[in-house]
Structure 1
Amino acid sequence: MKQDKLTRDPRQINALALAYMGDAVLEVRVRQHLIAAGEVKPNLLQRAAVRYVSAKAQASIVEGIWERLTEEEKAVLKRGRNAKSATVPKNANIAEYRLSTGFEALLGFLYLTRQEKRLDEILSYALEWVDSGLAAPTKE
């Protein structure tokens, strides 16, 4: 399949659009991680995935990786965090929800700027953070 060339500079893309892309990137990586770990039952996969993709978990991930981020990455994350969304969080407070949006914006930015190595590093940090038990627990 031919890869479409991104015609817009990702630095100029709306932060919520970056978060939309980052959400998809995270979802694919989490699914790969869970299946590689031997989890194969769909209902268990979905339950396990929540540990990584919930707003609470993502906010905790941001706290865990903040010092590892470059200034540019922090700026993108802050832009995503400060974006005004019409969505109201169900299982997180607004601060957690905004941090998770910022995290997803960062992932989307790295993906769209084709910084695959850095994206992989940050996703690896994130998965390790959750796997270590340091991420905020989620309610199922």
Structure 2
Amino acid sequence: MDKPSELKSLALAYIGDAVYEMHIREYLIKLGNVKVQQLHQQAVTYVKATAQAQVIQQWLSEKHLTSEEEAVVRRGRNAKSGSIPKNTSVQAYKYSTAFEALLGFLYLDHQTERLTELMDTAITITEKGDGGNGTRVDSR
């Protein structure tokens, strides 16, 4: 992959979704959670559209992203997708796509340290804000 910035935003979001899902699964396993059903329910807290939208909006409002990252986010937010899932708002879906596109871009651009930093920050934001669901993962 020579220039990830030239990929379509939905392609970036596709890979970003997988990268974040894997990061979350590793995080939960490291906490010592082993029951698969419990792992899945906890993972959803982090990977659902409303949680991702909350994270990206906080990063934008706090000017946490570089100008290059903001450009990727804008492209991701404005990407035209065929359909919106029933269980989320259009706005949350657009921002979650932007979140995933950013992670996909950083992954494909081999910006591993920045990617890890943002994903770890996303976990912290989601846990503080309950991911919009009132559910926290017990990290004890």
TM-score, normalised to structure 1, is 0.90
Matched, 1:80 2:72: no
1: distance between equivalents of 2:97 and 2:88? 12
**Equivalent residues of 1:58, 1:103 under 8 A apart:** yes
Q: Which residue of 1 aligns with 2:98?
A: 102
1: distance between equivalents of 2:100 and 2:76? 8
Aligned pair count reads: 133
Q: Unmatched 5+ residue regions in structure 1?
A: 1-5
CA deviations 1:41-94 (Å, max 9, x no partner) are 000111001100000110011122222111110110110110000122221100
TM-score, normalised to structure 2, is 0.90
Q: Quote the RMSD (CA, aligned, Å).
A: 1.4
- Percent identity for Structure 1 against Structure 2: 46
- Amino acid across the alignment from 2:73: L
- Amino acid across the alignment from 1:52: Y
Residue 133 of structure 1, CA deviation = 3.0
2: distance between equivalents of 1:89 and 1:75? 25
2: distance between equivalents of 1:79 and 1:102? 7
Q: Unmatched 5+ residue regions in structure 2?
A: 136-140
Matched, 1:41 2:35: yes
